[in-house]
Amino acid sequence: MPVKILIFSLLSILLTCTAAHAIEFRAVAEAKNSGRLVLAPGWQVKEKEGKASFAPIDDGGVKALCMKSENTSFSIQREIKVDVKQYPYVTWRWRVDRLPKGGDFRHDSTDDQAAQLFVAFAGRDSISYIWDTTAPVGTTGSQWIPMVMKVKITVVGSGGKDLGKWVSVTRNVYEDYKKLFGHEPPAAEGLRFQINSQHTGTSAGSCLEYVEFRNTP
């Protein structure tokens, strides 16, 4: 086989393997011709309480979506279709700029977080990975929204130690689901990035760059 053809064949295999290695969802995209950063296709804004406040940013090459909450609750969300048995690791990069003062998900009256990443599964199960103001990393809990979903919560960030810094988080969502729900997970069908501060009547701020499902850590 000629050297050029061999190199091309190897490159094609490499690109195919790389494409199958991960499934990525970015919060923003660069609009063609205008150069503006806009909400990426597939993402929608959902307001729960008050008016949503968000803006795409380019932070030194990091293209992300930043959200601010002033006694409000809203999210961006999208539909996905991911087999978490094949892609068990979920990785995302976020930044928290302001914590809701007194926020603590363990009490209804203070259940506010600067950043929450929900992975929703077929049926009514969801896992919520949160950056809490007070609850320590590793703390877990449950919420039941009647006729809507059952949510298992895991604290993956806490307090202001890394405030203003981009932080990458990786979780084995396949194993997390089995541990939290007690059975094999169905396909992941939704993503949600949420912020809220209405319970404490304070303010919060955070940003999301991307979410990625991978078959290796």
Q: Provide the number of structural domains found in the chain.
A: 1
Domain that holds residue 120: 23-214
Give domain status of residue 62, yes or no: yes
Beta-ladder partners of 45? 76
Give domain status of residue 11, yes or no: no
150/172 Cα distance (integer angstroms): 19
Give domain status of residue 153, yes or no: yes
Give domain status of residue 5, yes or no: no
| pLDDT tens-digit readout, 74-108 | 999 999 999 999 999 999 999 999 999 999 999 99
Q: Can you tell me the mean pLDDT for 187-213?
A: 97
Higher per-residue confidence, 114 vs 4: 114
Structural tokens at position 97: 């700029």
134/107 Cα distance (integer angstroms): 11
Q: What is the pLDDT at residue 38?
A: 83
Q: Can you tell me the mean pLDDT for 34-58?
A: 90
| pLDDT tens-digit readout, 109-166 | 999 999 999 999 999 999 999 999 999 999 999 988 776 779 999 999 999 999 999 9
Give pTM, 2 decimals: 0.87
Q: What is the CATH number of the domain that holds 36?
A: 2.60.120
Give domain status of residue 14, yes or no: no
- What lies within 8 Å, CB to CB, of 152 at 6+ separation is 125, 126, 127, 128, 140, 141, 142, 176, 180, 181
Give domain status of residue 203, yes or no: yes
How sure is the predictor about 37, in pLDDT bands with cuts at 50, 70 and 90?
confident
Tell me the average pLDDT of the chain.
Answer: 89
Residue 96 backbone phi and psi in degrees, to 5:
-105, 125
Give domain status of residue 132, yes or no: yes
- Is 72 in contact with 177 (CB distance < 8 Å)? no
167 to 73, 105, 216: CA distances (angstroms): 22, 21, 19
Q: What is the share, in percent, of the chain residues with pLDDT greater than 90?
A: 78
| Residue 144: its H or E element | strand 140-145
